Amino acid sequence: MAKRLKTAVIGTGFMGRVHLEMLRRVENVDVVAVVGRQLASAQKMAAGYGAEALDDYGKLLEDSTLDAVHICTPNATHYSIVNDAFRAGKHVLCEKPLTVSVVEARELVDLAQKTGLRNCLCNNLRYYPMVQQMRRMIEAGEIGEVLIAQGTYSQDWMLYPTDWNWRVDANVSGPSRAMADIGSHWFDMIEHLTGLRVQSLCADLQIFHPTRKRPKRSVETFTGKLPSAEDVEDTPVTTEDFGAVIFRLGDRARGSMTASQVSAGRKNGFTFEIFGSKSGVSWNQERPDELWIGHRNDPNQIIVKDPSLLKDGARSYADLPGGHSEGYDDTFKQVFRRFYRSVLEPGSAAEYPQFSDGLRQMTILQAELDSYRTRGWVNVEKYIAQPVLEGHSELRGRR
Amino acid sequence: MAKRLKTAVIGTGFMGRVHLEMLRRVENVDVVAVVGRQLASAQKMAAGYGAEALDDYGKLLEDSTLDAVHICTPNATHYSIVNDAFRAGKHVLCEKPLTVSVVEARELVDLAQKTGLRNCLCNNLRYYPMVQQMRRMIEAGEIGEVLIAQGTYSQDWMLYPTDWNWRVDANVSGPSRAMADIGSHWFDMIEHLTGLRVQSLCADLQIFHPTRKRPKRSVETFTGKLPSAEDVEDTPVTTEDFGAVIFRLGDRARGSMTASQVSAGRKNGFTFEIFGSKSGVSWNQERPDELWIGHRNDPNQIIVKDPSLLKDGARSYADLPGGHSEGYDDTFKQVFRRFYRSVLEPGSAAEYPQFSDGLRQMTILQAELDSYRTRGWVNVEKYIAQPVLEGHSELRGRR
Amino acid sequence: MAKRLKTAVIGTGFMGRVHLEMLRRVENVDVVAVVGRQLASAQKMAAGYGAEALDDYGKLLEDSTLDAVHICTPNATHYSIVNDAFRAGKHVLCEKPLTVSVVEARELVDLAQKTGLRNCLCNNLRYYPMVQQMRRMIEAGEIGEVLIAQGTYSQDWMLYPTDWNWRVDANVSGPSRAMADIGSHWFDMIEHLTGLRVQSLCADLQIFHPTRKRPKRSVETFTGKLPSAEDVEDTPVTTEDFGAVIFRLGDRARGSMTASQVSAGRKNGFTFEIFGSKSGVSWNQERPDELWIGHRNDPNQIIVKDPSLLKDGARSYADLPGGHSEGYDDTFKQVFRRFYRSVLEPGSAAEYPQFSDGLRQMTILQAELDSYRTRGWVNVEKYIAQPVLEGHSELRGRR
Amino acid sequence: MAKRLKTAVIGTGFMGRVHLEMLRRVENVDVVAVVGRQLASAQKMAAGYGAEALDDYGKLLEDSTLDAVHICTPNATHYSIVNDAFRAGKHVLCEKPLTVSVVEARELVDLAQKTGLRNCLCNNLRYYPMVQQMRRMIEAGEIGEVLIAQGTYSQDWMLYPTDWNWRVDANVSGPSRAMADIGSHWFDMIEHLTGLRVQSLCADLQIFHPTRKRPKRSVETFTGKLPSAEDVEDTPVTTEDFGAVIFRLGDRARGSMTASQVSAGRKNGFTFEIFGSKSGVSWNQERPDELWIGHRNDPNQIIVKDPSLLKDGARSYADLPGGHSEGYDDTFKQVFRRFYRSVLEPGSAAEYPQFSDGLRQMTILQAELDSYRTRGWVNVEKYIAQPVLEGHSELRGRR
């Protein structure tokens, strides 16, 4: 019988709850504890699944039978929790962004390398079945040489000056908001899919609401849309609502992207198109089971997700038959399954994003912030002071 | 602390696996066993989730600590397993269709009534968030008087004469295929949404492949698309590949539908549009998070699923924020959660489809088969020899 | 230099205006006159294009230099105008439906045959480029044996009881409304595309508004949506708002369609899907430049109109490059061009719908009305008392 | 009776043919001549419409009864033909881009101003009905303050190195290709719709095929996709296949766009989205009759073109009823109609793009070329050495 693994979720917000529920779907893994700053929140989340509730992750890490932890806390806390978890010998799956600075990210990558522990950054969006289909198509040369990558990640939950969430607070969330929260998904995806690296970029950012109304109690991510009467206070905002970037990708390809939290009507509008010398692909997270393939001399194609139509490397990401939709939650299951399989099989390849990918994302983010400040093109490479350790990431592994 | 319930899954095919994995997401429920005809299949399914594997559901029912069972076996076996489970005092959640005849279905409804046990028919498709949004809109009179209901349930997995599955065999699956398997979802949906009953109908059926190539080993539902070399034998087919129905709904409304398993390119194409005296709604299962609302004197509307845009009664079916897709699997979670809540709270309303709905579906199916045989309109009421017991079903409750 | 032809438009409503403007695009044709019941309407239409305005088509037909006429008057008047035009030796292009009865239609077909004059029924919708692409694909066997044809023609301009137009008045428009006006386009299209004939059918009709508010002045087709205060009177309605039909097509194929003028949000929603033993096609008039092609074992395809992607027989219907949309008006140009080419080239094939197609449409319509009255299936053939003269129609020519 | 105007078309390529055919739809205008470099081309185009064929526009301009000319020749020739036409006292409608340099464009604007003759630049794409609907919505404040404008104009007709057309030759077409041909439409549209001006921008360009195979005979625009065997010669290319721009619009808004002639599967993919502080709008030229309106706290909306749903100022651009598609050709009719109305009514407003808009487009284009060369942000204003004369353009008039 397979060994069963013990894990725990730290963080009781939107992401913490998703991790917990999706961990329940993974075979041979038991969630033994949930940790929250407030014990009541942890108890509420843990109760139904027979897990223990804690308000101190330190105690959790003392449990020598625990194999791994999921870190779903605000961005600025990742660095120290990951540090502590690694030092306690736990495998770590951390929500993105990995840290709030390149320096911190590099330290965590080094630490992961030294400890030899499994480390996963939760860029779950890579694992929609149709995304993996694109990846395998590009890898197989089906679109030819990559020429163009463009798109946007647009949401509207921060449209009004009355919208507030901990992510607006730079002390908790770091110096970037739209680019860090969702723009980082966009770049991670493009580099993952094309196997190319962003070489240089020119970015523009905008804070449309330099002041927002902050409620005096905390507001869960995405839930602020439902109105509620409460005390608010005018609070200056230092992180961007919107960013636009043009960039050079690999030696010849060109790109363009925007990220926005103030685009009315776009709920989770992560879209991109990648055009190559033979054909193009396009995808939209709001219709995740569809993949558009563009051709010049043949009709365009639309794949509605169907395992029998997917390439070998993509098929294992589709658990349901043709036309039976797989959603956002299901991408977490795909990541978690592969993460725990790698924990069980030391030496096996890491088929998921790793901390080195998180460092890469922080590097691009830093380049964006600097490009905006200096109002000019910047070379991404110059932010990579020390070469990232090779051999780790699924992304790099593909180059 | 909430009482924990014990349940088990009978059946190890495509549906059995979905039930098991989705049960894991439901709070306060433990899956203690999986039953399969072949022990090896049950073991394979059960292992990762710490459940026991059995090859005899009789033994399972002897366990007095077991609260409920999920029946995910071929259609023709439902009747006897449900019977046994009720007699053993277990609450029952059964896959659709409930039985292979009206008579059997009526007996099970009566038995459910007598025992007072919870009974659920797994018409999960009702529980996509956008479907519930439509339901609440219609209930609130937002589309006015219902005038027209039309659409199709089209798939392509049976297109070729080489496609085979146990569902083709009338002895295992009953006298109808396309109409029973997917047409029944269509009618259930329309009656659920409109609160109106199909009064009369005229149906046409067609078997495009009167002979199919049957492989000598069994083939899982939907998996036959991937080619495999194997021994086959010509086998006559007596169940329809396609059906078309026109019908009268309530006193004034009119309708039209088709069901097909041979429509190339449609993977799980369950679509319908309902037009009322004020506005219309339309939905397509292949893009489940979108709802079209048609207007005459205003722009049409598209809701991309977002809890903040849903009506009160629909919001609890959307567990994720705007634009974070919820898929096929997630509908099961919604059903199971409500089923077990009702088990825990005797006397509470059954917010899910019940066996009386299954009887209703069998009744319409019987009317279709007769209409086809007699080549004419038939009155559905005449198939309801004995009035269905009132007060049970969510559907009926809305009338 | 090519001979120039003289033509005239009879009728000054919505269709008359479209014919006039589209005739201006046809090479070697001069519109010399416009005829209206009210001289002022004719003058208004004729003025800008240098045509003469008349209020009596009799005078027009006396002009021996006139080659052809376009008949765009209310349905019930077609019969006598066509008769007069043929007897005056003019080629005739008539709006659909050809007449208000099968008998009249048959007479006109016979007369056309006897006179040897060119006759065209304006089923312009066949001539969208993507429709012709489907036709050529089916002809070439690319979808295999036709199995299923289904769809709808749905509009909303008659949704409210306050909506009125001459088409509501059976004395002017004939005994059928939704089925005659738009349902006839649907069946014409399916027979045109598949080359198969509807053999038998079962139809249901519904008049949702048995009484409508009739304005005391006349209302142009489609324009009644913009509100206007005026005197109205309650008027009984005897023609259907909605119809639903199931049918058998050729020897084995099956079909289903609805036609509606009361479907909120559908403006000109003519859609259909045709599934064959190899693949399927689907099209929607509201996005006329797109064609969906469904496959079982390959990705589905979408052609965005591009001459370089069309089959040889379809390419001449696309006058603009890829992605440059061609609309409703442009289909008339395609018909007119081919009609006048045939006038100039006696003996050439008629590459457009002819009166025999109009008779066919009246026959199916009569079958629908009878099926509804008798509440049962009817055999279409029995309405063809006298075989339609062969060799005429583009549709028949393809069989 | 209205005065009839005489006009002529200079140029016999794709655009010349479209102008001629669309002029035929305009009331009170007669096309008296067609001018081509080769008389045979002119004869072929002119014959069917009873116009004279010429091979020298000089002769044409000597005709004192001629009111106006349409210039549809290659870009580099516009300057001198417009000059000659103005000096001959003709009103001028010129295809875009107006010239191949800012200096030339400024001269033509000045000359137009001095002569007082009507001048129109054929930015026809502004005149799709749904585009005008957006314009009126934005003007009325319905989307609030404009925050973001983004999109692309993507085609694929230049994807392969074997694709060739006169537009590739910088001597004929000017120093820019993708940005001049289609990028200019994009910026014209955004400034037209928002009433805001691009203040600064940073552009990147790319020539993916620095060498192309040039056929020894000429190839009509867009027609090169159909293969033909012929002699070709390797020819260096100096104009871009692709461009990407980020920009600042007005005081606070931000934007991003790309233009591409090498994006496989995009035939004429002109799309944009404009997000404001209240709501957003989005449109795609490949589905021109649809307009998406995005909302934060209400369902999104889709208008399928229907005059009854359009705002007053937009309704006159929709000549057909709801759902009856209007296409690319129809936008020319809208421009031409308004142009000739203004010729007939001296002193009336110019409800169409004028040469000052052409100068504006050349200015932005120059800024893009310089930004690319200097690899940095540039201020568009610095290219406006001499303020454009006010009061002319429809665009400017709206500020």
In percent, the amount of chain A with pLDDT more than 90 equals: 89
Instruction: List the single residue in D with minimal CA-CA distance to A156.
Output: D296
Answer whether A299 touches B (CB < 8 Å): no
Tell me the two tokens of residue D106: 């400024």
Residues 6+ apart with CB under 8 A from D155: C322, C323, D182, D260, D261, D263, D266, D267, D268, D269
| Residues in A touching B284 (Cβ below 8 Å) | none
Task: State the Cα–Cα distance between residues B98 and B117, nearest whole angstrom.
Answer: 16
Helices (H), A144-277: 170-173, 178, 184-194
Question: For residue D121, what are the CA distances in angstroms to A344, D321, D361?
Answer: 68, 28, 11
| Residues in D touching B308 (Cβ below 8 Å) | 297
Answer whether A304 touches C (CB < 8 Å): yes
Tell me the two tokens of residue B55: 């090859």
Instruction: List the single residue in B with minimal CA-CA distance to D305.
Output: B299
Checking if the pLDDT of A137 tops 70, the result is yes
Answer whether C181 touches D (CB < 8 Å): no
Instruction: List the single residue in D with minimal CA-CA distance to A226.
Output: D297
**Shortest Cα distance from B204 to chain A (angstroms)?**
26
The answer to whether the CB atoms of C278 and B297 lie below 8 A apart is: no
C251-277: b (≥16 Cβ within 10 Å) or e:
eebbbbbbbbbbbbbbbbbbbbbbbbb
| Residues in C touching B240 (Cβ below 8 Å) | none
Q: Which of C330, C292, C352 is nearest to C134 (CA)?
A: C292
Q: What is the mean pLDDT of chain D?
A: 93
Q: What is the mean pLDDT of chain C?
A: 93
Helices (H), C206-262: none
Instruction: List the single residue in B with minimal CA-CA distance to C209.
Output: B277
User: Out of D1, D305, D320, whose CB is closest to C329?
Assistant: D320
pLDDT in tens, chain B (399 residues): 568 999 999 999 999 999 999 999 999 999 999 999 999 999 999 999 999 999 999 999 999 999 999 999 999 999 999 999 999 999 999 999 999 999 999 999 999 999 999 999 999 999 999 999 999 999 999 999 999 999 999 999 999 999 999 999 999 999 999 999 999 999 999 999 999 999 999 999 999 999 999 998 777 667 666 656 578 999 999 999 999 999 999 999 999 999 999 999 999 999 999 999 999 999 999 999 999 999 999 999 999 999 999 999 999 999 999 999 999 999 999 999 999 999 999 999 999 999 999 999 999 999 999 999 999 999 998 887 554 433 334 433 332
The string of pLDDT tens digits covering residues C358-391 is 999 999 999 999 999 999 999 998 887 554 433 3
Q: What is the arithmetic mean of pLDDT over C254-260? A: 98
Q: What is the arithmetic mean of pLDDT over D211-230? A: 75
Q: What is the arithmetic mean of pLDDT over D59-82? A: 97
Against chain C, the chains showing at least 3 CB pairs within 8 Å are: A, B, D
pLDDT of residue B387: 44
Q: Which of B5, B121, B156 is nearest to B361 (CA)?
A: B121
Contact B259, B182 (CB under 8 A): yes
Beta bridge partners of D250: none
The answer to whether the CB atoms of C304 and A304 lie below 8 A apart is: no
User: Out of D244, D266, D377, whose CB is closest to A256?
Assistant: D244
User: CB-hemisphere CA count at 13 Å for B45?
Assistant: 30
- Is residue B133 within a helix (H) or strand (E), and if so which, with residue range? helix B129-139
Task: State the Cα–Cα distance between residues C208 and C206, nearest whole angstrom.
Answer: 6
What SS3 class is residue A245?
Answer: strand
Q: What is the arithmetic mean of pLDDT over C24-33? A: 98
**How many Cβ atoms from other residues are within 10 Å of residue D180's Cβ?**
26
Task: State the Cα–Cα distance between residues B111 and B109, nearest whole angstrom.
Answer: 5
Tell me the two tokens of residue B163: 């496609």
The residue count of chain B comes to 399
CA angle D55, D57, D61 (to 5 degrees): 140
Tell me the two tokens of residue A341: 């399989």
Beta bridge partners of D269: D154
| Residues in B touching A308 (Cβ below 8 Å) | 225-226
Q: D221, D267, D305, D344: best mutation site toward chain C, by most C Cβ within 10 Å?
A: D267
Cis? peptide before B97, omega within 30° of 0: yes
The string of pLDDT tens digits covering residues B218-239 is 776 676 666 565 789 999 999 9
Question: For residue C340, what are the CA distances in angstroms to A316, C4, C35, C69, D46?
Answer: 60, 10, 20, 11, 18
Answer whether A301 touches C (CB < 8 Å): yes
**Shortest Cα distance from D292 to chain B (angstroms)?**
9
Q: C287, C302, C306: best mutation site toward chain A, by most A Cβ within 10 Å?
A: C302
Contact D220, D14 (CB under 8 A): yes
Against chain B, the chains showing at least 3 CB pairs within 8 Å are: A, C, D
pLDDT of residue C382: 87
CA angle B274, C152, C331 (to 5 degrees): 135
Backbone CA torsion sign across A35, A41, A43, A48? negative
In percent, the amount of chain D with pLDDT more than 90 equals: 89
DSSP string, D349-386: ---S--HHHHHHHHHHHHHHHHHHHHTS-EEGGGG-SS
pLDDT of residue B226: 64
User: Out of D297, D298, D301, whose CB is closest to B300?
Assistant: D301
The answer to whether the CB atoms of C265 and B279 lie below 8 A apart is: yes
The answer to whether the CB atoms of B306 and A225 lie below 8 A apart is: yes
pLDDT of residue B394: 43
| Residues in D touching C306 (Cβ below 8 Å) | 225, 267
| Residues in B touching A19 (Cβ below 8 Å) | none
Tell me which DSSP letter residue A4 carries.
Answer: P
Contact C202, C376 (CB under 8 A): yes
Checking if the pLDDT of A224 tops 70, the result is no
Secondary structure of C140-204 as H, E, C letters: CCCCCCEEEEEEEEECCCCCCCCCCCHHHCHHHHCCCCHHHHHHHHHHHHHHHHHCCCEEEEEEE
Which residues 322-341 of C are in CB contact (within 8 Å) with D? 322-330
Answer whether A27 touches B (CB < 8 Å): yes
Residue reference for tokens 């001399």? A297
User: Out of B297, B302, B309, whose CB is closest to D302?
Assistant: B302
Beta bridge partners of D3: none
Tell me the two tokens of residue B152: 């199709």
Q: For chains A and D, what is the number of CB pairs under 8 angstroms?
A: 139
Instruction: List the single residue in D with minimal CA-CA distance to A273.
Output: D263
pLDDT of residue C227: 58
User: Out of C24, C155, C307, whose CB is closest to D24?
Assistant: C24
Contact C329, C23 (CB under 8 A): no
| Residues in A touching C300 (Cβ below 8 Å) | 301-304
Contact B220, B156 (CB under 8 A): no
**Shortest Cα distance from B171 to chain C (angstroms)?**
26
Answer whether A377 touches D (CB < 8 Å): yes
Checking if the pLDDT of D389 tops 60, the result is no
Q: Detail the DSSP E strand segments found in A177-331.
A: 198-206, 211-215, 232-236, 242-249, 253-260, 269-276, 279-284, 290-295, 300-304
Contact A165, A224 (CB under 8 A): yes
The string of pLDDT tens digits covering residues B304-335 is 999 999 999 999 999 999 999 999 999 999 99
Between strands B279-284 and A253-260, the pairing is unpaired
| Residues in A touching B14 (Cβ below 8 Å) | 321
The string of pLDDT tens digits covering residues A251-284 is 999 999 999 999 999 999 999 999 999 999 999 9
Q: Which of A394, A356, A397 is nearest to A112 (CA)?
A: A356
Checking if the pLDDT of D223 tops 50, the result is yes
Question: For residue B190, what are the CA distances in angstroms to B255, B351, C294?
Answer: 10, 17, 26
Tell me the two tokens of residue C150: 């289904």
Task: State the Cα–Cα distance between residues D96 and D12, nearest whole angstrom.
Answer: 15
| Residues in A touching D258 (Cβ below 8 Å) | 148, 150, 256
Answer whether D4 touches C (CB < 8 Å): yes
pLDDT band at C353 (very low <50, low <70, confident <90, very high): very high
Answer whether D320 touches C (CB < 8 Å): yes
Contact D105, D337 (CB under 8 A): no
| Residues in A touching C291 (Cβ below 8 Å) | 299
Task: State the Cα–Cα distance between residues A385 and A399, nearest whole angstrom.
Answer: 20
The answer to whether the CB atoms of D297 and B309 lie below 8 A apart is: yes
Checking if the pLDDT of A21 tops 50, the result is yes
Question: For residue B25, what are the CA distances in angstroms to A49, A333, B31?
Answer: 8, 12, 11
C7-16: b (≥16 Cβ within 10 Å) or e:
bbbbbbbbbb
| Residues in D touching C50 (Cβ below 8 Å) | 4, 30
Give the type of residue at A101: S
**Shortest Cα distance from C6 to chain D (angstroms)?**
13
**How many Cβ atoms from other residues are within 10 Å of residue B323's Cβ?**
22
Answer whether D399 touches C (CB < 8 Å): no
Q: What is the arithmetic mean of pLDDT over A163-172? A: 93
Is the ipTM of this structure higher than 0.90? yes
pLDDT of residue B397: 32
**Shortest Cα distance from C13 to chain D (angstroms)?**
12
Q: B256, B257, B283: best mutation site toward chain C, by most C Cβ within 10 Å?
A: B256
Which residues 63-82 of C are in CB contact (within 8 Å) with B? none
Q: Which of A10, A6, A7, A93 is nearest to A54 (CA)?
A: A10
Q: Which of B131, B233, B194 is nearest to B396 (CA)?
A: B194
Tell me which DSSP letter residue B316 carries.
Answer: T
Cis? peptide before A97, omega within 30° of 0: yes
**Shortest Cα distance from A239 to chain D (angstroms)?**
16
Checking if the pLDDT of C225 tops 90, the result is no
Task: State the Cα–Cα distance between residues B129 and C131, nearest whole angstrom.
Answer: 36
| Residues in D touching A160 (Cβ below 8 Å) | 296
pLDDT of residue D399: 29
Tell me which DSSP letter residue A181 carries.
Answer: I
pLDDT band at D382 (very low <50, low <70, confident <90, very high): confident
Helices (H), C53-207: 57-62, 75-87, 102-115, 129-139, 170-173, 178, 184-194
Q: D202, D205, D225: best mutation site toward chain A, by most A Cβ within 10 Å?
A: D202
Checking if the pLDDT of C59 tops 50, the result is yes
Residue reference for tokens 């099926």? C371
Task: State the Cα–Cα distance between residues C339 and C349, nearest whole angstrom.
Answer: 10
Residue reference for tokens 């949004």? B133
pLDDT of residue D229: 58
**How many Cβ atoms from other residues are within 10 Å of residue B83's Cβ?**
15
Task: State the Cα–Cα distance between residues B228 and A179, nearest whole angstrom.
Answer: 47
Task: State the Cα–Cα distance between residues B314 and B128, nearest whole angstrom.
Answer: 9
Backbone CA torsion sign across D34, D40, D46, D52? positive
The string of pLDDT tens digits covering residues A51-101 is 999 999 999 999 999 999 999 999 999 999 999 999 999 999 999 999 999
What are the phi and psi torsion angles at C243 (to 5°)? -145, 150
Answer whether A290 touches C (CB < 8 Å): no
Task: State the Cα–Cα distance between residues A155 and B304, nearest whole angstrom.
Answer: 12
Answer whether B160 touches A (CB < 8 Å): no
Task: State the Cα–Cα distance between residues A33 and D387, nearest whole angstrom.
Answer: 70
Answer whether B154 touches A (CB < 8 Å): no
